[in-house]
């Protein structure tokens, strides 16, 4: 079913690259969703990403209790492009121009491939942008908020699965050590967890060494025999094939759109592996950015909001258990209820 309010696809006049802005829903308020900048085999793959990711943002904002809907921007670079220099700035300007035309119905922020400095560039064309650096008047990088919220979610997962929220002495496989995954790994290490970590970029091995974590390949980390698997990179990693090979007791991570298809949640359930819906786990970025920039909240208030992700997830697990449904079905039912559907 097509449920998006609006999708704009445009050859960026400044950059010549495809700019896609998807507004899924403004039912609860202006749509929010980051700007993804990466290469795609074909631009249609970027469109598919924008379609799925923007819909997930609607559920993310609804379950986070935010007065916002879901959207997403994708800058779909051709496969051979290097995303820096003049092309990067031009493409970000093009995205800003499209966002400005939406007159506040949608605001963007960082996502895979973009950070606070890029938000300054987008901000040269529109004011509807979160997470500029603090010096530039924004709330800065959203990944610390996402990581803190993820760890709150992981505590709820440990509580539900093992009877104690503490990560101390538990084992986690963190797949992806980017801005969010790297921080999650660090927070877990500080809390006394045992870690297996992986990233496609070999440079990140230095973090593994620093944290005393076992370094392995992303494929091996996916099937590591750990308490909790933490997908923290790109989406689509949970497929019928990977789910059959899992050796973890639970899956919960901040990567967006982890399931290749909704039905994969049923396969996880059938294997007795609870999956924490990614749109619940990863809400810390939007939660912290809007708390600081729109509601001018104190650090204590922001921390309380991030901790509340644990309560949301616990409620999801409790409902799922009570009704004999997957956590995914329980979360979606609650999101739909909040959206009045």
Judged by CB, which is closer to ligand PHE: 37, or 158? 37
Minimal distance, residue 50 CB to ligand PHE, in Å: 12
Binding of residue 121 to ligand PHE (CB under 6 A): no
The DSSP 8-state label assigned to residue 213 in this structure reads P
Judged by CB, which is closer to ligand PHE: 111, or 118? 111
Which residue intervals of 70-204 are DSSP H helices?
85-101, 116-122, 143-162, 179-190
For residues 113 and 139, the answer to whether their CB atoms sit within 8 Å is no
Judged by CB, which is closer to ligand PHE: 98, or 160? 98
Interatomic CA distance for residues 297 and 301, integer angstroms = 6
Among candidate residues 191, 324, 319, 175, the one with its CA nearest the CA of residue 253: 175
Minimal distance, residue 188 CB to ligand PHE, in Å: 20
Q: What angle do CA 254, 260, 265 make, to 5 degrees?
A: 75
Minimal distance, residue 183 CB to ligand PHE, in Å: 14
Binding of residue 281 to ligand PHE (CB under 6 A): no
Residue selected from 154, 252, 289, 329 as contacting ligand PHE according to rule CB under 6 A? 289
Interatomic CA distance for residues 86 and 14, integer angstroms = 10
Minimal distance, residue 254 CB to ligand PHE, in Å: 8
Question: Which one of the spans 73-81, 232-240, 279-287, 318-326 is the region binding ligand PHE (CB under 6 A)?
Answer: 279-287
Among the listed residues 38, 72, 194, 205, the single catalytic one is 72
72 is catalytic: yes
Going by DSSP bridges, is the β-strand pair 31-32/35-39 parallel, antiparallel, or unpaired?
A: unpaired
Interatomic CA distance for residues 72 and 33, integer angstroms = 4
Binding of residue 285 to ligand PHE (CB under 6 A): yes
The DSSP 8-state label assigned to residue 203 in this structure reads G
Binding of residue 109 to ligand PHE (CB under 6 A): yes
Interatomic CA distance for residues 35 and 123, integer angstroms = 12
> Left, alpha or beta for 65 (phi > 0: left; psi -120 to 50: alpha)?
left
Interatomic CA distance for residues 32 and 208, integer angstroms = 33
Binding of residue 111 to ligand PHE (CB under 6 A): yes
Minimal distance, residue 142 CB to ligand PHE, in Å: 4
Binding of residue 256 to ligand PHE (CB under 6 A): yes
Q: Which residue is nearest to ligand PHE (CB)?
A: 109
Minimal distance, residue 157 CB to ligand PHE, in Å: 19
Among candidate residues 199, 66, 92, the one with its CA nearest the CA of residue 145: 66
Binding of residue 95 to ligand PHE (CB under 6 A): no
Binding of residue 274 to ligand PHE (CB under 6 A): no
Binding of residue 126 to ligand PHE (CB under 6 A): no
Judged by CB, which is closer to ligand PHE: 274, or 285? 285
Residue selected from 40, 130, 172, 275 as contacting ligand PHE according to rule CB under 6 A? 130
Question: Which one of the spans 82-90, 210-218, 282-290, 328-336 is the region binding ligand PHE (CB under 6 A)?
Answer: 282-290
Q: Which of residues 142-161 bind ligand PHE (CB under 6 A)?
A: 142
Binding of residue 32 to ligand PHE (CB under 6 A): yes
Minimal distance, residue 256 CB to ligand PHE, in Å: 5
Binding of residue 33 to ligand PHE (CB under 6 A): yes
Which residues are within 8 A (CB) of 326 and not within 5 positions of it... i.e. 6 or more apart? 265, 266, 268, 269, 275, 320
Interatomic CA distance for residues 255 and 241, integer angstroms = 19
Judged by CB, which is closer to ligand PHE: 69, or 109? 109
Instruction: Taking the CA atoms of 251, 253, 258 and 259 in sequence, report the sign of the dihedral they define.
Output: positive
Instruction: Taking the CA atoms of 237, 39, 282 and 7 in sequence, report the sign of the dihedral they define.
Output: negative
Residue ranges that bind ligand PHE, judged by CB under 6 A: 32-34, 109-111, 130-131, 142, 256, 282, 285-286, 289
Residues classed as catalytic: 72
């Amino acid at each position: 079913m097509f449920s998006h309010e609006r999708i704009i696809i445009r050859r960026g006049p400044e950059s010549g690259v495809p700019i896609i802005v998807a507004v899924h829903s403004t039912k609860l308020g202006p749509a929010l969703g980051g700007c993804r900048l990466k290469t795609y085999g074909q631009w249609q793959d970027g469109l598919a990403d924008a379609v799925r990711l923007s819909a997930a943002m609607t559920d993310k904002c609804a379950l986070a209790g935010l007065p916002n809907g879901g959207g997403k921007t994708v800058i779909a670079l051709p496969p051979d492009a290097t995303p820096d220099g003049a092309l990067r700035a031009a493409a970000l300007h093009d995205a800003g121009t499209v966002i400005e035309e939406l007159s506040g119905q949608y605001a963007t922020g960082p996502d895979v491939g973009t950070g606070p400095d890029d938000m300054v560039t987008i901000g040269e064309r529109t004011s509807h942008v979160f997470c500029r650096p603090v010096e530039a008047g924004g709330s800065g990088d959203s990944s610390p908020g996402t990581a803190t919220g993820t760890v709150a979610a992981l505590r709820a997962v440990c509580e539900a699965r093992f009877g104690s929220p503490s990560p101390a002495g538990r084992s986690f496989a963190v797949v992806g050590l980017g801005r969010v995954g790297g921080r999650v790994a660090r927070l877990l290490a500080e809390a006394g967890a045992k870690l297996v970590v992986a990233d496609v970029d070999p440079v990140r091995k230095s973090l593994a060494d620093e944290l005393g974590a076992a370094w392995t390949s992303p494929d091996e980390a996916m099937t590591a025999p750990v308490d909790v698997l933490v997908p923290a990179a790109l989406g689509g990693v949970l497929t019928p094939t990977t789910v059959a090979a899992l050796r973890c007791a639970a899956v919960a991570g901040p990567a967006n759109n982890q399931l290749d298809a909704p039905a994969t949640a049923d396969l996880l359930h059938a294997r007795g592996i609870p999956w924490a819906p990614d749109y619940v786990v990863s809400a810390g970025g939007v939660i912290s950015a809007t708390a600081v920039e729109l509601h001018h909240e104190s650090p204590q208030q922001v921390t309380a909001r991030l901790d509340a992700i644990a309560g949301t997830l616990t409620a999801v697990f409790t409902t799922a258990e009570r009704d004999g449904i997957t956590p995914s079905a329980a979360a979606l039912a609650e999101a739909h209820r909040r959206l009045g559907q």
